[in-house]
Structure 1
């Protein structure tokens, strides 16, 4: 199984410790693209117009400044860097040993800076969204698409792609034709802010249940043990299944 999550806008970082070592991160094949994005991001972040170029408020200069110390700031597990509604609901730190082990294997965060990371990868906090355009690189989603297509299919193995990403991050990678039949988007009808919370709960539920279904209908049965669900078949040959989820 591959559970795809978006990053959070809010991020935290440890105050002490050694810097991140990119050689230890999951998906080492992404290293060249990671380096290009980090270099372009640092250049933009030095500009007086950095907030406008990055599409953030001028009140977030402290967060933009994080982009200038990516190589020296204390490394922090991605499980701690990403915070907020979805990650509070996922509650990685409160999982038991077996569920945490599954989360470390199944959960992947799609990132505008790092491409894709797992919860144990020791990274640093940053300010960059997938909707940004960096000088010399262009829009980030198309930039990451071929790189992610090299690594994420293998991470799926024989399981299901459980897609909990927002639209901007979903644009960075879509499963190919060979995986489309095992791709399901988790949707929370009639919700916005609460949708993040519910998707976090779904991801947690899957890690706790421990089942690794080989088809989307079987995945829906697992989710139905904790939620009210309605499964919709794909709208086309390369479109995902859609799983509507609501708390019971």
Structure 2
């Protein structure tokens, strides 16, 4: 089983005493940065709907990006991202064996780096997968990555003898995985909140993001291999609902949190 998650806009750049690995698509990232450096501040603002301050910050990040970075200017991806999904993943508290397993089975989809392992060394950046950054490969990042991500996932799955991909990423990011090139069966868990207001359970984005990270952690810690294995997930009060689920879409519901 492989599992994919999205990156985060927010970063935690605290120093980490962890041996890091090199991203598989480091050269592609460098080419994207070269393109991004040619954008004006106004272009950069429009590309990702940034404020003036965030546009300047990310212009400076692109300017400082190194093709072969030193270790002190990088951080391991799973510890550097700090958004809602990563609050659920809690990568820093995984034990050594869990991290080793995650390095083989967990992948982070990235607009800049394409596909990251948990310990891959990243430099600070923000480049959302939905960005319409024009390159020689096309008008946006979906066209830039084309079939590369699917092929890389297929290759890793073949190495592991896996035939299942659990999609815990957002639609924006999983949209970069070309379905026709992907040889794996895809399972996409859904996490719903029940407000008991007669309108039925529904997705609440903040909670769903956190739950997707927690599901990735559950898969890692329990060494899940099948869709059936996912049904035991109960983090935060979620319960598997067989009557609401379908093939490839297990549904988990909990009462809406009051605090």
Taking structure 1 as the reference length, the TM-score comes to 0.81
Is structure 2 residue 168 aligned with structure 1 residue 164? Answer: yes
Q: Distance in 2 between matches of 1:178 and 1:85?
A: 27
Secondary structure at 1:131's aligned position in 2? coil
TM-aligned CA distance change 1:135 to 1:210, over 3 Å: closer
CA contact (8 A) 2:150 2:181 kept: no
Is structure 2 residue 168 aligned with structure 1 residue 186? Answer: no
Q: Distance in 1 between matches of 2:91 and 2:174?
A: 22
User: How many residue pairs align between the two structures?
Assistant: 230
Partner of 2:241: 230
User: C-alpha displacement at 1:145, in angstroms?
Assistant: 2.5
Secondary structure at 1:38's aligned position in 2? helix
| Unaligned 5+ runs, structure 2 | 193-201
User: C-alpha displacement at 1:66, in angstroms?
Assistant: 1.4
1:42 to 37, 43, 52: 37
Partner of 2:197: none
Alignment of 1:143-222 (within 5 A): 143-157=144-158, 158-176=162-180, 179-180=183-184, 182-189=185-192, 190=202, 191-213=204-226, 216=227, 218-222=228-232
More divergent stretch after superposition (121-130 vs 133-142): 133-142
User: C-alpha displacement at 1:221, in angstroms?
Assistant: 3.6
Secondary structure at 2:38's aligned position in 1? helix
Partner of 2:198: none
Taking structure 2 as the reference length, the TM-score comes to 0.77
Partner of 2:253: 246
- RMSD between aligned residues: 2.8
| Unaligned 5+ runs, structure 1 | 235-240
Q: Distance in 1 between matches of 2:168 and 2:125?
A: 21
Q: Distance in 2 between matches of 1:16 and 1:151?
A: 27
Summarize deviations over 1:187-236 as a string: whole Å, max 9, x none. 113221111111111111111112323xx3x23345369841236335xx
Partner of 1:56: 50
TM-aligned CA distance change 1:3 to 1:167, over 3 Å: same
User: C-alpha displacement at 1:177, in angstroms?
Assistant: 7.5
Partner of 1:67: 62
Is structure 2 residue 22 aligned with structure 1 residue 25? Answer: yes
